[in-house]
């Protein structure tokens, strides 16, 4: 056997070709800054997000999006800007019947090295606190889209950290109260104003 290392051409230290973010204030800057302030040990740091994980996450999003598109016609909605200039980039829009009416579900696709242990396997009232930032993001998007419905797809790279550490792809439908959506959006806007991101 002869084994020869080769150049694979995949760069994990920068965004994929074609991935462009519009200039301006992105929702992720607001909730990212908030969580850096709330839990600097976990979300702080001056290096920014891990580019390798971001690239893997984008690759996962593209793969899951393509599967959802083929099976159910879901599409990535792209960026949208609200009246106050905040740019939102949800991963997926899902249109479906909910309680007999046509409804929009805003979806997010996540890749994580966190454990799936403690994640709901039956209907419940929430997720473990380590996923609060994701819920904050989804609720912010839902509020701006005037829907109370969300969906979360999560790829747990190491599963529940059990004996086999098998990767898991799991999904949940979410229904938020109007009050929770309003309070979350107000908290984020207040934080953005306090930090000088918004006027």
Percentage of the chain exceeding pLDDT 70? 80
- Residue 184's pLDDT is what? 97
Most confident segment among 14-18, 43-47, 144-148: 144-148
DSSP state letters, 42-92: HH--SS-S-HHHHHHHHHHHHHHHHHHHHHH--B----EE-TT--EE--SE
Average pLDDT over residues 74-87: 83
pTM: 0.80
- Residue 23's pLDDT is what? 84
Q: Is 163 helix (H, G, I), strand (E, B) or coil?
A: coil
- Phi, psi (5° rounding) for residue 73? 80, 15
Q: Which of 96, 110, 72 is CA-nearest to residue 175?
A: 96
- Residue 45's pLDDT is what? 62
Q: Give dist(CA 55, CA 45) in Å, integer.
A: 19
With beta carbons less than 8 A apart as the criterion, state whether 139 and 184 touch: yes
For 129-160, write each residue's pLDDT tens digit. Answer: 999 999 999 999 999 999 999 999 888 888 88
**Between residues 70 and 196, the one the model is more confident about:** 196
For 88-125, write each residue's pLDDT tens digit. Answer: 999 888 888 888 888 999 999 888 889 998 898 889 99
Average pLDDT over residues 30-45: 84
């Amino acid at each position: 056997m002869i084994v020869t290392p080769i150049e694979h051409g995949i760069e994990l230290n920068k965004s994929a070709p074609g991935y462009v973010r519009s200039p301006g204030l992105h929702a992720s800057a607001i909730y990212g800054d908030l969580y850096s302030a709330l839990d600097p040990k976990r979300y702080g740091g001056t290096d920014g997000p891990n580019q390798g994980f971001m690239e893997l996450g984008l690759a996962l999003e593209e793969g899951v999006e393509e599967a959802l598109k083929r099976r159910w016609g879901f599409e990535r909605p792209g960026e949208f800007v609200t009246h106050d200039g905040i740019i939102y980039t949800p991963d997926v829009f899902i249109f479906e019947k909910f309680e007999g009416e046509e409804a929009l579900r805003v979806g997010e696709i996540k890749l994580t090295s966190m454990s799936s242990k403690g994640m709901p396997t039956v209907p419940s009232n929430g997720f473990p606190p380590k996923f609060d930032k994701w819920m904050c993001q989804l609720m912010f998007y839902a509020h701006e889209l005037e829907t109370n419905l969300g969906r979360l797809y999560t790829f747990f790279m190491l599963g529940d950290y059990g004996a086999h550490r098998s990767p898991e792809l799991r999904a949940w439908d979410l229904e938020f109260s109007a009050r929770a959506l309003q309070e979350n959006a107000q908290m984020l806007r207040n934080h953005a104003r306090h930090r000088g991101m918004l006027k």
